[in-house]
């Protein structure tokens, strides 16, 4: 199956978790590649990064190497939309993600959208977790968990400003700094 590889390294501080790869992202070979996806624009508008990041594998790798932000998905099976995902996808993805979170040892976990976090929690060992926007009242692997609006073009309920502001608030709480 063609999918996006996890983009992580031994020094991943923040693990970014999308629901699943979009077909345009798999075709392009990098995360958030759909031209209508607002991730890259919101990231640039957050004011955290010293230089503009263009949608590309190089920018993803720059975030991994310089800012210690890794990328993965709850479900690795690409689809045209979340309606095409099944319970088995979430069950398998939650188990894989549990292992990854422990193995990577990231200092924080970032879910793109409440649905991504809800599905993870629903199919993980601890189903009794409340889910709110921003920093969660619970931890994963003893580290903070954040939820920001999904930047997908299918999520029109949140404006570009809402998404950008949520990124900025999360990065400020994490005191995100580039590697030297």
Q: Higher model confidence: residue 56 or residue 126?
A: 56
* Token pair belonging to 125: 């060992």
Report the distance separating Cα 43 and Cα 57, nearest Å. 15
Q: Name 79's bridge partners.
A: 22
In contact, 175 and 53? CB cutoff 8 Å = no
Identify the band that residue 138 occupies on the pLDDT scale cut at 50, 70 and 90. very high
Q: Where are the domains of the chain?
A: 14-174
CATH of region 14-174, choose from 3.30.499.10, 3.40.50.920, 3.40.470.10, 3.40.1260.10:
3.40.470.10
Q: Mean of the pLDDT values across residues 40-63?
A: 96
Task: Give Cα separations from 19 to 89, 125, 152, 172 (angstroms).
Answer: 11, 19, 10, 24
Q: Give the single-character DSSP code of 82.
A: G
pLDDT score at 125:
79
pTM of the model: 0.94
pLDDT(180) > 60: no
Q: How far apart are CA 63 and CA 67, in angstroms?
A: 5
pLDDT tens string 105-137 = 999 999 999 999 999 999 987 777 999 999 999
Residue 179 has pLDDT above 70, yes or no: no
- Number of CB atoms found within 10 A of residue 33's CB: 22
CA 149-151-153 angle, to 5 degrees, is 125
Q: With cut-offs at 50, 70 and 90, classify the pLDDT of residue 79.
A: confident
Which helix H or strand E contains 17, and what residues bound it?
strand 14-18
Task: Tell me the pLDDT tens digit for each residue of 141-153.
Answer: 999 999 999 999 8
Mean pLDDT computed over 38-62: 96
pLDDT (0 to 100) of residue 175: 87
Average of per-residue pLDDT across 28-46:
96
In this structure, are residues 6 and 69 in contact, taking their beta carbons and an 8 Å threshold?
Answer: no
């Amino acid at each position: 199956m063609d999918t996006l590889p996890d983009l992580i390294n031994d020094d991943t501080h923040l693990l970014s978790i999308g629901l699943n790869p979009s077909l345009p992202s798999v075709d392009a070979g990098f995360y958030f590649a759909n031209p209508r996806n607002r991730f890259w624009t919101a990231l640039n508008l957050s004011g955290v990064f010293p230089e503009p990041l263009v949608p590309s594998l190089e920018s993803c790798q720059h975030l991994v190497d310089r800012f210690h932000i890794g990328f993965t998905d709850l479900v690795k099976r690409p689809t045209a939309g979340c309606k095409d995902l099944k319970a088995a996808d979430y069950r398998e993805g939650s188990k894989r993600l549990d292992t990854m979170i422990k193995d990577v040892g990231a200092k924080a976990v970032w879910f793109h959208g409440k649905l991504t976090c809800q599905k993870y929690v629903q199919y993980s060992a601890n189903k009794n977790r409340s889910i709110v926007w921003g920093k969660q009242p619970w931890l994963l692997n003893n580290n903070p968990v954040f939820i920001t609006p999904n930047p997908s073009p299918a999520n029109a309920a949140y404006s570009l400003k809402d998404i950008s502001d949520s990124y900025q608030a999360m990065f400020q709480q994490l005191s995100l700094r580039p590697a030297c």
